[in-house]
A and B are shown apart, each in its own frame.
Chain A
Amino acid sequence: MNLDMSSDTAALIRSSKRRLLQMHYEAGVGHIGGNLSALDSLLCLHHAVMTDNDLFVLSKGHAAGALYVTLWSIGKLTDEDLTSFHQDRTRLAGHPAPKAIEGIPVATGSLGHGLPLASGMAMAKKFRHEPGRVFCLTSDGEWQEGSNWEALIFARHHKLYNLTILIDRNRLQGFGTTDEVASLGDLRPQLSSFGVTVEEVDGHSWRALSDALSCTDPGPRVIILDTVKGKGIPSFENKLDSHYLPLSDLEYSRAMQELGS
């Protein structure tokens, strides 16, 4: 048990994980690993950090399931909505679709789009002197996309103080580890060299997440989340398979047992 969180928080995380697994299992959909690595930060953001003035962009659109479950956990989606995930006529596509769901301002799925979009939103708030922040969650492999670096330069140059970039560093991507596929080297100094504030936190520690995400120091700020792909499901943790494969019957029942009720 993670000692840095209340029992309510632990229950929230557990029920959200269970709902996420159920949704993916019933739909026969993979991408579970990257959803589980991102879920804690999404829950923390939406339950403990964001206000009505804030905006969130999920750049790693393949973690749509985690975002849908998070929106379900705050009452913006229903159980019936989640049941429709990946089904015909659903609003809940495998990657967030345009204008489908309140609380998801932009569709994503092709990597490298979310951060420039979020930068535009942050700039809009800055122009109007509006309160609120813009959060954008990227994956780590996604930083192989040049558009992210374009956006980082832009955000820094235009002093988008209200922009917070989260990087879900689970170190695995579609066809290998990020180090094997196209190494990003030591990400922190590289990002810092662009003139943005960078910190690294445990992406599964509610307290560390809450502290880092609640910080309102002027940005743009980058928070590298050290995470585990497939977090919480031992057979999936740090496994490349968890990027794509859906849960088998046995894996699902074991995982639910491990999570507890």
Chain B
Amino acid sequence: MRNAATRAWMSAYAEEPFLFLTGDLGYNALESLRDEMQDHFINAGIAEQNMVSVAAGLATQDFDVWCYSIAPFCYARPFEQIRNDVCQHDLPVKLVGNGGGYAYGAMGSSHHALEDYGTLLTLPNMHVYVPSFAGDLPDIVTRMRESQHPAYLRLGHCEVPDRYRVPAYAPWRRLAAGNDVVILTVGPIAGALLAGLHDWDGSTRPEVWSISELPLESNPPPLEFLTALERNPRLCVVEEHVAQGSVGQIFAHFALKHGIPLEQFDHLCALGYPSGRYGSQNFHRKECGLDAATILKRAEALVHRV
């Protein structure tokens, strides 16, 4: 996704210049952007607190500013700077966290971002963008540029299954038609799930959706999604994020508040490090039941109302 984002930034920059700050990250990925942007590409060094506040200072003077780092260095280290300097002033600073969820795999827990969008959504004015596929980046970058609010973009590894035709980007999207339980995905884990669904041989079929923009207040579920739930009021939310602050919790709250009846609800999410061991992204997903086989098994359980 990072390469797709770089191409999207290159196109966006050609249309209208902006500033891009990196916390000394982007090797083997952002070089073309750096060469194109020249002095508008600023390596702020390994100093994320300063980077975010500098971005806020630039934004007070009407500059369009993006800040890039590995996800936890982007949202956790400078959290107070995001809170006080960016969000409380409602400045349109765009934060980009590379490696959402367990994407950095065996690099270890310091590099994982398991609570990023939940944490950031507690802040005023913050908008979150989580692409499911690399092809979403041009639309998302455009939408982020048009927004006049703080924003966070969570990048991951694109996992489009073979022969799968990705539908055009939309903040809510039906990724696979079905006639039973609804699975709502967040981020690129959708690709792994769709790949697993290819071999699904049940008599009924789950309907798979993705959500890519939060909060729900500015991106409420569309009628088609609500209709699917009305038809089959069984929902399974799948995301590489801890339960606290997750889309699962957010949607459950939304459903209760708006009287959306859910007969059954399941939530598959990041559980941290259950075994205390580390490995690839798929290793961690499997430990949390976020691999396609487990997700579909859980969905099947909802189908059969176990």
**Which of chain B's residues 31-56 have a Cβ closer than 8 Å to chain A?**
42, 44-45, 47, 49-50, 52-56
Q: Name the contact of B60 in the complex, choosing from A105, A113, A146 (C-beta under 8 A).
A: A105
Question: Across the interface, do B58 and A120 meet the contact criterion of CB distance under 8 Å?
Answer: yes
Q: Does A125 reach chain B (CB closer than 8 Å)?
A: yes
User: A147 contacts B57, CB within 8 Å?
Assistant: no
B85 touches A123 (CB 8 A): no
Beta-carbon nearest neighbor of A105 in chain B: B60
Chain B nearest Cβ from A55, distance in angstroms: 9
User: Known contacts being A117-B53, A121-B57, is A127 close to B88, with CB within 8 Å?
Assistant: no
> Which of A99, A107, A147 neighbours the largest number of chain B CB atoms within 10 Å of its CB?
A147
A156 to B276, CA, bound (A): 43
Which chain B residues (54-73) contact chain A, with CB distance < 8 Å? 54-63
Query: In whole angstroms, how far apart are the Cα atoms of A119 and B52 in the complex?
Result: 11
B54 touches A106 (CB 8 A): no
Q: Judge whether A98 is part of the interface by a CB distance below 8 angstroms.
A: yes
A116 at the A/B interface (Cβ < 8 Å)?
A: yes
Query: B263 within 8 Å of A by Cβ?
Result: no
Q: Is the Cβ of A150 less than 8 Å from the Cβ of B49?
A: yes
* Residue contact A116 to B54, C-beta cutoff 8 Å: yes
Asked if B60 contacts A106 (CB within 8 A), the reply is: yes
Cβ of A118 < 8 Å from any Cβ of B? yes
Size bin of chain A's contact surface:
20 to 34
- In the complex, which residues of chain B have a beta carbon less than 8 angstroms from the beta carbon of A150? 45, 47, 49-50
Closest to A114 in B: B53
Nearest chain A residue, comparing its CB with the CB of B83 = A110
B56 touches A106 (CB 8 A): yes
Note all chain A residues with C-beta closer than 8 A to B89.
98-99, 106-107
- Cα(A119)–Cα(B61), bound, Å: 12
Kindly state the separation between the CA atoms of A166 and B46 in the bound complex, as whole angstroms. 25
A153 lies within 8 A of chain B by Cβ: yes
Q: Are B49 and A110 in contact (CB under 8 A)?
A: no
Check A151–B61 contact: CB distance below 8 A.
no
Q: Contacting B50 at CB < 8 Å: which of A105, A125, A147?
A: A147
Closest to A147 in B: B49
How many positions in chain B have a CB within 8 Å of any CB in the partner chain? 26
Separation of A116 and B58 alpha carbons in the complex (Å): 10
What's the dominant secondary structure at chain B's contact region?
helix
Taking each of B55, B85, B89, which has the highest tally of chain A beta carbons within 10 Å of its own beta carbon? B85
Complexed CA–CA distance, A127 and B21 (Å): 14
Q: Which of A145-166 contact B (CB under 8 A)?
A: 146-147, 150-151, 153-154, 157-158
User: Roughly how many angstroms separate A147 CA and B49 CA in the complex, as a whole number?
Assistant: 6
- Tell me the bound Cα distance from A110 to B57 in angstroms: 16
Given A107-B89, A117-B85, A146-B49, check contact A127 B57 (CB 8 Å).
no
B80 proximity list for chain A (CB < 8 A) = 110, 113
* Residue B109 CB within 8 A of the other chain: no
Whole-angstrom distance between the alpha carbons of A121 and B90 in the complex? 16
Residues of B82-105 whose CB lies within 8 A of A: 84-85, 88-90
CB-contact partner of A124 in B58, B88, B90, under 8 A: B58
Tell me if B54 and A154 are in contact (CB < 8 A).
yes
Report yes or no: A120 in contact with B47, Cβ–Cβ below 8 A. no
Residue of B nearest to A108 (CB): B84
In the bound assembly, the distance between CA atoms of A128 and B40 in angstroms comes to 12
Contact of B63 among A113, A127, A157 (CB under 8 A): A127
* A120-138 near B? 1/0 per residue, CB < 8 Å: 1111110110000000000
| B81 interfacial contact with A, CB 8 Å | yes
Q: Do residues A119 and B50 form an inter-chain contact, with CB atoms below 8 A? A: yes
A30 at the interface (CB under 8 A from B): no
| A141: interface (CB < 8 Å) | no
How far does the Cβ of A64 sit from chain B's closest Cβ, in whole Å? Answer: 15
A220 on the B face (CB < 8 A): no
Considering the chains assembled together, what is the distance between the CA atoms of A179 and B147 in angstroms?
47
Closest CB in chain B relative to A27 CB, distance in Å: 23
Q: Are A123 and B57 in contact (CB under 8 A)?
A: yes
Are B60 and A116 interface neighbours, CB within 8 A? Answer: no
Q: Which residues of A contact B54 (CB under 8 A)?
A: 116-117, 119-120, 123, 151, 154
B85 touches A113 (CB 8 A): yes
Question: Hey, which chain A residues are within 8 Å of B90, CB to CB?
Answer: 98-99
Nearest chain-A residue to B78 (Cβ)?
Answer: A147
CA of A122 to CA of B54, assembled, Å: 9
In the complex, A119→B84 CA distance in Å? 16
B53: nearest residue on chain A (CB-CB)? A116
Can you report 15 A-B residue pairs in the complex whose CB atoms are below 8 A from each other? A110-B80, A116-B49, A116-B52, A116-B85, A117-B53, A117-B85, A119-B50, A119-B53, A120-B60, A121-B58, A123-B57, A124-B60, A151-B53, A154-B47, A158-B42
**List of 7 A-B pairs having minimum Cβ-Cβ separation, nearest first:** A120-B57, A116-B53, A124-B61, A150-B50, A150-B47, A120-B54, A117-B57
* Additional A-B contacts beyond A108-B84, A116-B53, A117-B56 (10; CB < 8 A): A106-B56, A118-B57, A119-B54, A120-B58, A124-B62, A128-B61, A147-B49, A147-B53, A150-B47, A154-B45
